[in-house]
Amino acid sequence: MINLKSGITPTWCPGCNNFLLFAGIQQAIDQLGIAKENVVLVFDIGCIGNMADFFNTYSVHSLHGRCIPTALGVKLANPKLTVIAIGGDGGVYGEGMGHLIAAARADAPITVVVSDNHLYSLTTGQTSPTTPKGSKTKSTPLGSISVPINPVSLLHTINPDVMVDSIDGRDPQLITAKLVEALKHPGFSLLDLQQICVTFGKELSA
C-alpha cells in the first residue's frame, strides 16, 4: 500500500474517531490508484485540522472555515489534481458556511470531508452548528437553544446535483467505500462523518 504517513505520531485522544478517517483517506487514495504527487489535502483548523501534520502528501493547513476556498484555489490552478478539503463541523458548517454554499452552488469539482463531532473540540467543547438542541456544552451550560443544521438536506436544497452523504464516522469500511465514491464523483461532493468526541462529547443529547 502507498505510504502517505509523515511519521509524526498523531496527537489525538485515544479512541478519537479521527484515527479512522486518517486510515480511510489513505485507503481510498490507494484503492483509486491516485499517484501521491497528484493529491492535495487542504485542512481546516481544529482537532481534525491537526491531521495535516500526520500526512506526507502535498497539503495546506489553512484557516478556520477556509479549507473550501483554499481547496478551490488549488483545483483552479491545476484541474488535474485530486483535491480534498478536510474540516470539522465548526469550520465547514460554521465559520465556512458561506464558502460551502458557494462551492455547492457552483458544483465545484472538489471533495469535502467533515469530521462532524457536533462540537468545537480543539477549543475544549463549545456548541457548533450541528450540536443537538438541548445539549449542555461549555458555551451552553443550560442546554443549546438552537436547532442543528442538517448538511444533507441543506446542500440538496442549494443544488440537487451535488453528492452529499452523512454516515457513521465510526465504521472504517464504510468510510473508505464512501470516500472512494465521493472522489469518483465529477462535481462537488461532501461526506459528513457522524462522530463522537470521546473527550468532550459525553453530554451531547442523542
- What does the binding site for ligand SF4 look like in residue numbers (CB under 6 A)? 12-13, 16, 18, 47, 117, 121, 197-200
Among residues 172, 180, 118, 109, the alpha carbon closest in space to that of 149 is found at: 118
What is the C-alpha to C-alpha distance for residues 151 and 64, in angstroms, rounded to an integer?
Answer: 18
Binder to ligand TPP among 89, 111, 175, 192 (CB under 6 A)?
89
The listed partner (ligand TPP, Mg ion, ligand SF4, none) that binds 13, CB under 5 to 8 Å by sort, is: ligand SF4
Rounded Cα distance, 96 and 48, in Å: 15
Cell numbers placing 66? 477556509
Considering the complex, what minimum distance in angstroms separates the CB of residue 37 from ligand TPP? 28
Which of these segments, 26-34, 109-117, 130-138, 140-148, binds Mg ion (CB under 5 A)? 109-117
Which CB atom, from 31 or from 50, has the smaller least distance to ligand TPP? 50
Burial of 80 (0-12, 13-18, 19+ CB in 10 A): exposed
By C-beta, is 27 or 129 nearer to ligand TPP?
129
The alpha carbon of 51 is separated from its chain's Cα centroid by a whole number of angstroms, namely: 11
How many angstroms separate the Cα of 96 from the Cα of each of 72, 84, 101, 122, 192? 13, 15, 9, 17, 15
Residue from the set 20, 40, 48, 175 that interacts with ligand TPP by CB under 6 A: 48
Q: Given the complex with ligand TPP, which of 20 and 47 has the nearer CB atom?
A: 47
CB of 91 to ligand TPP, least distance (A): 4
Of 138 and 156, nearer to ligand TPP (C-beta) is 138
Distance CA 110, CA 183 (A): 8
Nearer to ligand TPP, 82 or 130 (CB): 130
Nearer to ligand TPP, 21 or 39 (CB): 21
* C-alpha closest to that of 17 among 155, 192, 203: 192
| Nearest residue to 88 (alpha-carbon basis) of 198, 172, 193 | 193
- Spatial contact of 111 and 83, defined as CB atoms under 8 Å apart: yes
Q: How far is the CB of 46 from ligand SF4 (least distance, A)?
A: 8
Q: What residues numbered 65-104 form the site for Mg ion, per CB under 5 A? A: 88-90
Residues near ligand TPP (CB under 6 A): 44-48, 63-64, 87-91, 95, 115, 117, 119-123, 128
